[in-house]
Amino acid sequence: MNKLFFRNDYGEGAHPIVLRKLTETNMEHTCGYGLDAYSLRAAELIREKCGKPEADVHMMVGGTSANMIALSSFMRPYEAAIAAETGHINVHETGTIEGSGHKVCIAASKDGKVLPEGVRAVVNAHTDEHMVHPRVVYISQPTEIGTVYSLEELRALRAVCDELDLILFADGARLGSALTASEATATLQDMAALTDAFYIGGTKNGLYFGEALVIVNPALQKNFRFMIKNRGGMIAKGRLCGVMFLAALENDDYFAWARHANAMADIIREGMERAGIAQFIKTTTNQVFPVITREQEKALAEKVEFEHWGDVDDERVAVRFVTSWATKEEDVRALCAELEAL
Amino acid sequence: MNKLFFRNDYGEGAHPIVLRKLTETNMEHTCGYGLDAYSLRAAELIREKCGKPEADVHMMVGGTSANMIALSSFMRPYEAAIAAETGHINVHETGTIEGSGHKVCIAASKDGKVLPEGVRAVVNAHTDEHMVHPRVVYISQPTEIGTVYSLEELRALRAVCDELDLILFADGARLGSALTASEATATLQDMAALTDAFYIGGTKNGLYFGEALVIVNPALQKNFRFMIKNRGGMIAKGRLCGVMFLAALENDDYFAWARHANAMADIIREGMERAGIAQFIKTTTNQVFPVITREQEKALAEKVEFEHWGDVDDERVAVRFVTSWATKEEDVRALCAELEAL
Amino acid sequence: MNKLFFRNDYGEGAHPIVLRKLTETNMEHTCGYGLDAYSLRAAELIREKCGKPEADVHMMVGGTSANMIALSSFMRPYEAAIAAETGHINVHETGTIEGSGHKVCIAASKDGKVLPEGVRAVVNAHTDEHMVHPRVVYISQPTEIGTVYSLEELRALRAVCDELDLILFADGARLGSALTASEATATLQDMAALTDAFYIGGTKNGLYFGEALVIVNPALQKNFRFMIKNRGGMIAKGRLCGVMFLAALENDDYFAWARHANAMADIIREGMERAGIAQFIKTTTNQVFPVITREQEKALAEKVEFEHWGDVDDERVAVRFVTSWATKEEDVRALCAELEAL
Amino acid sequence: MNKLFFRNDYGEGAHPIVLRKLTETNMEHTCGYGLDAYSLRAAELIREKCGKPEADVHMMVGGTSANMIALSSFMRPYEAAIAAETGHINVHETGTIEGSGHKVCIAASKDGKVLPEGVRAVVNAHTDEHMVHPRVVYISQPTEIGTVYSLEELRALRAVCDELDLILFADGARLGSALTASEATATLQDMAALTDAFYIGGTKNGLYFGEALVIVNPALQKNFRFMIKNRGGMIAKGRLCGVMFLAALENDDYFAWARHANAMADIIREGMERAGIAQFIKTTTNQVFPVITREQEKALAEKVEFEHWGDVDDERVAVRFVTSWATKEEDVRALCAELEAL
């Protein structure tokens, strides 16, 4: 018997709607490298939804690649990014930012969210040419640990960036989940209005792969396709991303899928509450972090696929359940039953 | 009415066999980043077909990315690659090799093929620590201009690499076409036996994307997955490449598709001969380079999609037709009719 | 009237003994780039004094350059250095390590000294190819804040490096001061025996410029001159470093100068004690960190050149006095008088 | 008996005038990193002599370092330099430009001088984002092979750079020799007026080390000190370069020394003419390239230190004699006698 799958949100292929459009368009001839009609229409659609007719939209193959190419394009060699200690670029990208020549400076954060005063402190600590020059504030919406920046928090970061001449960049690998979470106050248009650049993650919300990078700030747009190619991020059949993003966005299914993932996670959160299991970090997105004992973890692992997140104390650990567009309610109910039976 | 499409071999989606397997496996849960069972089986199958049970096989997202990650993994910072002037890494990758810190030295070549004496001359010209240290010989099989290294030529390059302590690396973006061309004398097993590393190109032979990099030399294998991630080349749904390569290779369809592409190109070559049109470069693979007049080019462009390759003289130009697994014989016949009518 | 100068240990030119040897040899003809007889003799002398006849010795133009070239030579692209938060490479080199592609991971430290358990914790936290691979432990002897690793502490670091397959690298910009401090227990030979590579700093102890990098571990020696040149660190008149290090070392004056600097700092420390002024960090080397009030700092700045180090609390600050081979005892006495008069 | 020394122009220490000023100022206290009064005065003096009151002047430790730091500061990651095949950055810097991420494209040249039509051809050949974007034209004044760009030639390069939006950068490692050669038509002020940036070489004209980089174009000036530090090119005792350049320039001795070197080379050229020895490349600067037979080379090497330059044909070779501020007329006469006796 198969285990219940809550390991991640990239464990399946593509949403059937995406797959259908890929199949329907499969034998059409297009030019390569993302200059085809599908990619152009997807970009146009994204500009419209963002309310940013002048934005540049580029289809990137993955989140790590998008982060590295964008940040290394936006910075001069001596400039640095600012991130939370838990930031994906700081921990889980094998040093791609440093690999492209840039330091990642750690700012104080709360619940995985970079604090404006943390940004200010980093800038104040870098006083002259013997230190790096902080230039980009990197945030994830939602964060690595599933929390969501409120509209107010984004505005505060925008303000500190304006004041200190910093670029605000948002990693949106799970952006759909953030925008449709119960606590969400910032919309897609807010993301576009408040950041200099951000991306709409496809890999973790129904696409085979692909992140739609939206470069809002015109000063950062020049020759970006050269950067993509120079960093190895341009694929020949670029039209695939165009087709997939069109499929996901033309009827706003993208948001429906994310809403589904969040709803499935909500059921888990309710089940945990019933079972008296605490959350390590309180989230409203598609990642849930129960605190259980080592014995419970072991027992659960017999029936469920999930990730060990970390040790809480000598007895207890935090684990992670992730839901997605592909998560079935029956599996979630079964998981809750397991939790209550622990 | 649609034009006849001979622009490139990446103008469609995936071969139906590939698409079917992707669809069949779509809702299965797997772990990410290429460590799933499909990727492992595909790697194992490739090792078997190569006759190299100890080889490392990694699925790369594209050719430029594969070239850059492999070469920058194989070289120390002061080391350089050797390539033909027409080499893809020298011309058409926006400086990714240099972007990863390495010079590309140009060796004398004939028909796009690096000459052993050209390699030797480059090495001899680099005498001390004030110059780069040539380390990797980069070839493409087939070359950028569609020619094929014979088994003898590969052996001669291997010999000079052994003598001069160089690594031999083969870009196989169109490897299928090279291995199944009428003039082919080197097999897949020869590629594995004679190079230190090479790849089996998927993007241009029926896959959505993906190049299967085979690292034969054990000295070059260590920690390569760190390199892939560090350079932004690892995608979350890595299983896609596994599934696609399995679909293409488990019944050797990969070679059938390539053989089809070559056969279609052969028909074009025959048509050209009948029409009295010369080849700019003589090829037996899926790229054909007719020499026609400017007027003929203009007339042809009304009905056919193809690429302008370059000027031959004041009156004549070279153009490029490319065939693929997706090319229909009726389209090829129609193209021949157009050529004969010029 | 000139202020008393305690700002740094690189505020003057070269020690007269160095200057004399430069002058005496000035018109001799030598070959360039550090392959002259002076450089070779200096390297040989350093090997002897280190008790490491097989070590490679390279003359580097400065500390930042030496750190960057050595570390980027020792590491593959995905590998990272481990340093104390106060480490020079982490703070004061404008991201040269990241600029060469490598992350700097912060290990727990005490009094500026990297702790073996801090090293172990960093390594344990990096578990797979989604994270950098820690490879080099970077320490400074003495540390940025003037403290000295004891022989026992160095042995403990060596042990953890051996256990975890790490390289131990020591920045010796002020090595003379560390080796001759009253609390010193590690000798030059210990440095050579316990590290994989380290350097003997010239710039801050009597030379115009120059750091003698000693690569003890044979596995790290190959083609290092290519690295120096590739990173822009090789100068044409390389013989200058050879001449200067010979002047400094042939009669062990290097250590006498460092001892003098420490003795001058000892007098300041005694004066502080008499004046009831606390040390921010307890040191026995040529940097002294008094804690004084803002008013005292202001008053002192009228008569003394020194650096503001940081704020201790609302009222008090830490400042830094640095002594060197060039510091005169009368100036130190005058400084003490000022301190006692505060 | 010592051989006559014509191997290079960096075989001795510093000119006595430079040495004297270093000695006189040796015990003065200054701040570090090139912000001292000497460095500032030297920069001001250079601005005056260049007729460019708004230029930025930075003291670099060496030519390779200056080339790499300037070019990597001026270019974005996908941009490339254009150089002659013989260009120092293309051949003799161990790939520092590529090491900083940038390709060097080769332009057609004549007598080592980049041709405007060569620049144009490189730009025209780079048409889209699949290729690097040429951005900087790198020239040396004089060239690697001792030839000098005339005022007219420089104007033609400036014109093509203006037309094609390129930066013109001049490596002036031997600038003194170029400006004082008998065929010189371009002055220091012309260099400043026609390039975006260039440097005045100190290492090869009387200084221990140091190249004064003049960044004329304000768009290239921002945060350059961050770049110097980030690339490892900033030394603590930066005042040394200030002192040395002041010594060399305050009475225009710099030009007198270069004139002397050229005059010594002129005597060699006259001697060669008398001896019936051809020049491999015709020069008027401090490098002379006689064509002699292999036997003559061997005989000469018994008494003279010089460099083998290359093979001319089966019998004849080109060798190189270099003169400098340190070359004595008696040695030149002795060399001529040897040549005539061959």
Nearest to residue B205, comparing CAs of B258, B144, B147? Answer: B258
CB–CB contacts below 8 A, A to C: 56
The answer on pLDDT for C1 being more than 70 is: no
- For chain C, report the end-to-end CA distance as a whole number of angstroms: 20
Task: List all residues 6 or more positions away from A46 whose beta carbon is below 8 Å from its beta carbon.
Answer: A55, A57, A200, A212, A214, A245, A249
Q: Flag whether pLDDT at C311 surpasses 90.
A: yes
User: How does residue B2 score in pLDDT terms, banded at 50, 70 and 90?
Assistant: confident
Chain B residues whose beta carbon lies within 8 Å of the beta carbon of residue C129: 223, 225-226, 228-229, 234
d(CA B254, CA B207): 9
CA distance C69 to B199: 33
Which distant-in-sequence residues (6+ apart) come within 8 Å of A24 by Cβ? none
- Nearest-CA residue of chain C relative to A104? C103
Exposure string (b/e) for C272-304, b if CB count within 10 Å is 16 or more?
Answer: beebebeebbebbbbbbbbbbeeebbeebeeeb
> Measured between alpha carbons, how far is residue D117 from residues D109, D110, D156 in Å?
9, 11, 10
CB atoms D78 and A130 under 8 Å:
no
**Do B77 and C225 make contact, defined as CB atoms within 8 angstroms?**
no
Band of residue A2 on the pLDDT scale cut at 50, 70, 90:
confident
**CA–CA dist A69, A100 (Å, integer):** 8
CA C35 – CA C32 distance, rounded (Å)? 6
**Is C209's CB within 8 Å of D16's CB?**
no
| Residues A296, A160 contacting (CB under 8 angstroms) | no
Q: How far apart are CA D318 and CA B217, in angstroms?
A: 43
Q: In the beta sheet, which residues pair with residue B304?
A: B4
Tell whether the model's pLDDT for residue B110 goes beyond 80.
yes
Instruction: Provide residues of D within 8 Å CB-CB of chain B.
Output: 77-78, 80, 91-95, 97-104, 129-132
Written as six digits, the tokens of D255 are 């030009």
Express each pLDDT in D122-156 by its tens digit. 999 999 999 999 999 999 999 999 999 999 999 99
C265 sits in the region (left: phi over 0; alpha: psi -120 to 50; else beta) called: alpha
B234 three-state secondary structure: coil
Residue B150 gets the label, from left (phi > 0), alpha (psi -120 to 50) or beta, of beta
The DSSP bridge partners found for residue C321 are: C288
CA triple A67-C99-A229, angle to 5 deg: 45
Check residue D323 and give its pLDDT: 98
Helix or strand or coil: residue D138? strand
pLDDT in tens, A14-35: 999 999 999 999 999 999 999 9
Is C203's CB within 8 Å of D13's CB? Answer: no
Residues of chain D with Cβ-Cβ distance to C102 below 8 Å are none
**pLDDT (average), residues C160-173:** 98
Please determine, for the modelled complex, whether the ipTM score is greater than 0.90: yes
- Token pair for B14: 């995936």
pLDDT at position B313 over 80: yes
Q: Which chains touch C (3 or more CB pairs under 8 A)?
A: A, B, D
Q: What are phi and psi of D308, to 5 degrees?
A: -75, 125
Closest CA to A76 of C89, B230, D230, B93: D230
Whether D226 sits inside 8 A of C94 (CB atoms) is yes
DSSP character at residue D219: G
Pair of tokens at residue B226: 């760190």
A170 is written with which tokens? Answer: 């948002």
Taking the C-alpha atoms of residue C31 and residue C152, their distance in angstroms, rounded to an integer, is 43
pLDDT for the residue C2: 85
State yes or no: cis peptide before D142, omega within 30 of 0: yes
d(CA A5, CA B29): 7
Query: What residue has token string 């170029």?
Result: D178
Cβ neighbours around B241 below 10 Å, total: 27
Are the CB atoms for A78 and A132 separated by under 8 Å?
yes
Query: Using CA atoms in the order B313, B317, B318, B319, what is the torsion angle rounded to 10 degrees?
Result: 170
Model confidence at D311, pLDDT cuts 50, 70, 90, reads: very high
Average pLDDT over residues B197-211: 98
Task: Please state whether beta strands A113-114 and A109-110 pair in parallel, antiparallel, or not at all (unpaired).
Answer: antiparallel
Whether the CB-CB separation of A27 and B326 falls below 8 Å is answered with yes
DSSP for C47-105, written as a single string: HHHHT-TT-EEEEES-HHHHHHHHHHHHS-TTEEEEEETT-HHHHSSTTHHHHTT--EE
The secondary structure of residue B213, as a DSSP letter, is E
Helix pair angle (D151-164, D116-125), 10° resolution: 20
Helix or strand run (H / E) with residue A65 = helix A63-74
Cβ–Cβ < 8 Å for C201, C165 = no
Q: Model confidence over B112-164: pLDDT tens digits?
A: 999 999 999 999 999 999 999 999 999 999 999 999 999 999 999 999 999 99
The pLDDT value recorded for residue D1 is 60
pLDDT at residue number A163: 98
Q: Give A117's contacts (C-beta < 8 A, 6+ positions apart).
A: A108
Q: Give yes or no for residue C101 having a pLDDT over 70.
A: yes
For the whole model, what pTM was predicted?
0.97
Q: What value does the mean pLDDT of chain D take? A: 97
> In chain C, whose CA is at the least distance from the CA of B130?
C229
Which residues of C fall within a CB distance of 8 Å from A100? 101
> What span, in angstroms and rounded, lies between the C-alpha atoms of C74 and C223?
11
User: Which among C94, C99, C103 has the least Cβ separation from residue A95?
Assistant: C103
C77 contacts in A (CB within 8 Å)?
99
Sequence letter at residue D79 = E
Asked if pLDDT for residue C208 goes beyond 70, the answer is yes
The yes-or-no verdict on residue A1 having pLDDT over 80 is no
Report the C-alpha gap between A34 and C135 in whole angstroms: 39
Sign (positive or negative) of CA dihedral A154, A158, A164, A168: positive
Tens-place pLDDT, residues A35-67: 999 999 999 999 999 999 999 999 999 999 999
pLDDT of residue B188: 98
Taking contacts as CB-CB distances below 8 angstroms, the residues of chain B near A68 are 232
Q: For D222, which residue in chain A has the nearest alpha carbon? A: A76
Spell out the residues 6+ positions from residue C138 whose beta carbon is closer than 8 angstroms to its own.
C67, C71, C81, C82, C83, C87, C89, C104, C114, C169, C171
The domains found in chain C, sorted by start residue, are 4-10+253-341 (3.90.1150.10), 16-249 (3.40.640.10)
Instruction: Determine the average pLDDT of the residues in B269-292.
Output: 97
CB distance A8 to B237 below 8 Å: no
Q: Please, which residues bridge with residue C114 across strands?
A: C109
Residues in A touching C10 (Cβ below 8 Å): none
Q: Are strands B113-114 and B109-110 parallel, antiparallel or unpaired?
A: antiparallel
Who contacts C161 (Cβ-Cβ below 8 Å, separation ≥6)?
C119, C137, C167, C168, C196
Angle at D44 between CA D40 and CA D50, to 5 degrees: 145
Cβ-based neighbour number of residue C309 at 10 Å: 18
Q: What is the tens place of the pLDDT at every residue in B212-237?
A: 999 999 999 999 999 999 999 999 99
Task: Please name which of C243, B130, B76, C197 lies closest in space to residue D62, comparing C-alpha atoms.
Answer: B130
Helices D239-249, D253-275: inter-axial angle, 10-degree rounding: 70
pLDDT above 90 for B1: no
Distance in angstroms (rounded) separating the CA atoms of residues B239 and B220: 24
